[in-house]
Amino acid sequence: MRDLFQEQLEVLRARSLERKLREIGSAQGPEIDIAERRLINFSSNDYLGLANDSRLREAAVAAIGKFGVGAGASRLVSGTQSLHVRLESAIAKWKGTEAALCFSSGYAAALGTIPALVASNDIILLDKLCHASLIDGAKLSGAILRVFPHNHLGKLENHLEWVQRQHAGKRVLILTESVFSMDGDRAPLRELIELKKHFGALLFLDEAHALAASSNG
């Protein structure tokens, strides 16, 4: 078995692409313990400090006391916990939306939603710097995939014109992020909305790094 993957591993090592997990011995926060050293943490996405918030810790302990630690099965098959229903209705109220649906991770959200919005023969137009989960969701949908250079409205418009010419009547989904994970820059949302309306496309925004920014105005 080792031999089967040895060559592949060596290729990864040679390209400095071998990944190793760092073990963290403390709760998440501005400082964390790694290998018995206290380090300042610049790499986390816990921008709001919720991962170790005392009110959330207490609420989580109380919820475990009442509901235990597992959902039992898929919520579609065996019913959904009332806690999840309450969470989704609170999120919908906070975001001012009709409804909300929670997934266990951002990756699961992308894979669960994108194929529900478009299918094979539809079109996805994706910003080049989109997170890998959006690319995987796009591939899983089976839609025709076109990538536009990062935040390049002109190229996106060219793609939309191409869809109009070659794939009239097909559903078109523009995939982007409101705040980009790696570069920290923002998508030009006003212009994207104008384009989406003009061409009758759908717009999918990954707000993994932007929820706090948008909710605080």
Min separation Cβ 169 and ligand PLP, Å: 30
Q: Which is nearer to ligand PLP, 133 or 151 (CB)?
A: 133
Q: Is 107 in the site for ligand PLP (CB under 6 A)?
A: yes
Distances 6 to 1, 12, 14, 16, 19 between C-alpha atoms, Å: 9, 10, 12, 15, 15
Q: Is 206 in the site for ligand PLP (CB under 6 A)?
A: yes
Helix %, strand %, coil % of the chain (to 5): 45, 15, 40
Q: Is 176 in the site for ligand PLP (CB under 6 A)?
A: no
Among residues 125, 175, 177, 201, the one that binds ligand PLP under rule CB under 6 A: 177
Min separation Cβ 43 and ligand PLP, Å: 11
Rg (CA), the chain: 21
Q: Is 133 in the site for ligand PLP (CB under 6 A)?
A: yes
Q: Is 105 in the site for ligand PLP (CB under 6 A)?
A: yes
Q: Is 151 in the site for ligand PLP (CB under 6 A)?
A: no
Q: Which residue is nearest to ligand PLP (CB)?
A: 106
What is the C-alpha separation between 164 and 158, in angstroms, rounded?
A: 10
Q: Which is nearer to ligand PLP, 164 or 181 (CB)?
A: 181
Min separation Cβ 114 and ligand PLP, Å: 12
SS3 state at 201: coil
Smallest CA-to-CA distance from 127 within 186, 169, 171, 170 is with 186
Place of tokens 């475990």: 64
Positions 34 through 53 that interact with ligand PLP (CB under 6 A): 45
Q: Is 150 in the site for ligand PLP (CB under 6 A)?
A: no
Q: How many CB atoms lie within 10 A of CB 194?
A: 12
Pair 152, 126: CB distance under 8 Å: no
Among residues 32, 124, 131, 204, the one that binds ligand PLP under rule CB under 6 A: 131
Q: Is 127 in the site for ligand PLP (CB under 6 A)?
A: no
What is the C-alpha separation between 87 and 143, in angstroms, rounded?
A: 32
Give me the residues that bind ligand PLP (CB under 6 A), please.
45, 105-107, 131, 133, 177, 181, 206, 208-209
